[in-house]
Amino acid sequence: MSAVVKICGLTEPRHVVAAAAAGARYLGFVFFPKSPRNISVADAARLLEDVPIGVAKVALTVNADDALLDRIVGETTVDMLQLHGSESPERVAQVKARFGLPVMKAIGIAGPEDVGQIELYAGVADQLLIDAKAPKSADLPGGNGISFDWRLVQRKYWPCPWMLAGGLTPENVAEAVRLTGAKQVDVSSGVESAPGIKDEKLIAAFCAAAHAAA
């Protein structure tokens, strides 16, 4: 089963081109100042010009207010909003209604007690990103290079499409797909040579491994 790939946290034109050339179907851009992958709205607008038609452009925000979302939607050509903070189901619905774009909601998983959140959001989000729950001491809600017990979402089916994230690398993504049955996978730190610095060879290797997963 070939998995659809999302490469997140892109900051440079050459990596945008590399990700699209490797077959990624989603490209993510981070609007969160604490992240080493953070970019300005103006820089994002320029980067998105290099994204080929047919590749979805995703704006990742963390508990963003309407003012920031207004700027992102109004000044760039993003196709989807990714909410990666503690946004409630009500907030997800509000964002969808206000901006008219598909919304992906990230959900952090550490143990069985966290899986129930998925049902809460599956009815309001257009897609779900099932990620590893960040440690309490972490500055970032995602992109920390940690994974969770994939058996918690093994062969699960929810009312909307979902992506598997959290600690994925070119070396383990095929195993993750086989174990969970995920049809979509998301990677950020797993294709970096240093925090926030994407590596073109790792991007290509990750996409190849995900596409070959069976």
Q: Write phi, then psi, for 95 (nearest 5 degrees).
A: -65, -45
Residues classed as catalytic: 8, 131
* Distance between CA atoms of residues 110 and 93, nearest Å: 25
* Distance between CA atoms of residues 158 and 116, nearest Å: 11
Q: Where are the alpha helices (DSSP H) in the chain?
A: 13-21, 41-48, 66-75, 89-99, 116-122, 173-180, 200-212
Written as six digits, the tokens of 66 are 């309407």
- Asked if 15 and 197 count as a contact pair (C-beta separation under 8 A), the reply is no
- Asked if 206 and 1 count as a contact pair (C-beta separation under 8 A), the reply is no
Give the SS3 label for residue 52: coil
* Distance between CA atoms of residues 66 and 59, nearest Å: 14
The DSSP symbol for 82 reads E
